[in-house]
């Protein structure tokens, strides 16, 4: 790597780099990946590996072709690749996985200027693309192989309830991940293990994630399907992708003040809850967070910042 020598101070720098932040995020996703392999078979690993490889390669080729600084080795594409695969059912065809990965990195990330400049989360945008373009193919969730040796097609827990059915799984099964769903989002336990690791390493701040979850749970409880205060809190918490969304998708990086972070998370939460309650979509995570992503600039105007020496507002 060509390193430019910096003579100007400060002469002490933290050891943390973009690369090791992203590396830690990737490491924190490994428990969930192992869970995916356990619940959905070895194809989960294949899809994740494929997605990561395509993401990194796309980023590398684009940066080479446009003669930009090559940052493909900074693990950020690895994180996007993993999250993207985690949002797919195990039955997704290889070609859709590849197209989505290329789309996420090329159109959502690189064309907006690369890392740091993409205004929405590339992995979520990729998921949105597949939901809109190939709804039949990517909504083919299957029952975990621990429950059935045949890949039986099934709706997700939230989906089943939305269409008036029974959840069909206990809260414990939902928590552990023994439910139909996308690869990485089913096991809440393993996702939380990864999230705890990130918190421990000081990479994320749990405030946004918690306020997001709290907002969704309160709203879905209050405006429940059978009238006020009839929502199922545990179902909403463990049934869908709320935890992966809160912990990994809701990047709160644009907000420094607590006020800003919480405002952002609550906005995402309100939209997510509204979609869960009023729309035909059972999840709403994707729309909620993407909308909040787009509103980030406007929301940041509400941050109260004080510059030293200026009059207090």
The Cα–Cα gap between 251 and 264 comes to 10
Closest residue by Cα to residue 313 from 259, 248, 252, 251: 259
Minimum distance from residue 146 beta carbon to other proteins (Å):
38
Minimum distance from residue 59 beta carbon to other proteins (Å):
12
Minimum distance from residue 108 beta carbon to other proteins (Å):
15
Minimum distance from residue 207 beta carbon to other proteins (Å):
13
State which H helix or E strand residue 61 sits in: helix 43-65
| Site of interaction with other proteins (CB under 8 A) | 1-14, 16-18, 20-21, 69, 71, 74, 76, 113-117, 253-256, 305-310
> Would you give the DSSP letter of residue 88?
S
Closest residue by Cα to residue 32 from 234, 176, 130: 176
Complex with other proteins: residue 3 or 149, whichever CB lies closer: 3
Minimum distance from residue 233 beta carbon to other proteins (Å):
32
Complex with other proteins: residue 68 or 148, whichever CB lies closer: 68
Rg (CA), the chain: 20
Complex with other proteins: residue 72 or 138, whichever CB lies closer: 72
Mark out the alpha helices in 223-257 (DSSP H runs): 233-238, 242-244
136 by DSSP, 3-state: which? helix
Complex with other proteins: residue 222 or 256, whichever CB lies closer: 256
Complex with other proteins: residue 28 or 154, whichever CB lies closer: 28
- Find where tokens 């059935």 sit: 148
């Amino acid at each position: 790597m060509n390193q430019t020598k910096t003579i100007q101070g400060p002469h002490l720098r933290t050891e943390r780099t973009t690369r090791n932040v992203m590396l830690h995020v990737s490491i924190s996703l490994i428990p969930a990946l192992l869970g995916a392999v356990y619940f959905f078979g070895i194809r989960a690993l294949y899809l994740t590996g494929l997605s990561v490889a395509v993401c990194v390669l796309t980023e590398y080729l684009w940066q080479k072709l446009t003669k930009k600084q090559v940052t493909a080795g900074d693990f950020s594409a690895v994180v996007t690749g993993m999250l993207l695969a985690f949002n797919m059912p195990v039955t997704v065809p290889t070609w859709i996985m590849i197209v989505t990965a290329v789309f996420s990195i090329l159109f959502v990330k690189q064309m907006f200027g690369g890392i740091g400049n993409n205004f929405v989360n590339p992995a979520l945008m990729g998921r949105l693309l597949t939901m809109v373009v190939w709804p039949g193919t990517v909504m083919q969730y299957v029952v975990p192989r621990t429950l059935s040796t045949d890949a039986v097609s099934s709706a997700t827990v939230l989906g089943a309830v939305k269409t008036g059915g029974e959840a069909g799984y206990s809260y414990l099964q939902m928590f552990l991940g023994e439910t139909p769903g996308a690869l990485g989002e089913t096991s809440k336990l393993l996702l939380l293990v990864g999230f705890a690791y990130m918190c421990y390493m000081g990479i994320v701040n749990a405030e946004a994630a918690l306020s997001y979850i709290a907002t969704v749970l309160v709203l879905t409880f209050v405006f429940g399907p059978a009238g006020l205060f009839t929502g199922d809190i545990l179902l909403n918490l463990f049934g869908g992708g709320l935890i992966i969304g809160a912990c990994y998708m809701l990047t709160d990086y644009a907000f420094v003040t607590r006020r800003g972070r919480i405002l952002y998370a609550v906005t995402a939460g309100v939209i997510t809850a509204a979609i869960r309650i009023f729309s035909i979509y059972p999840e709403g995570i994707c729309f909620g967070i993407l909308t909040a992503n787009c509103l980030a600039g406007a929301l940041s105007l509400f941050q109260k910042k004080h510059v030293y020496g200026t009059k207090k507002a």
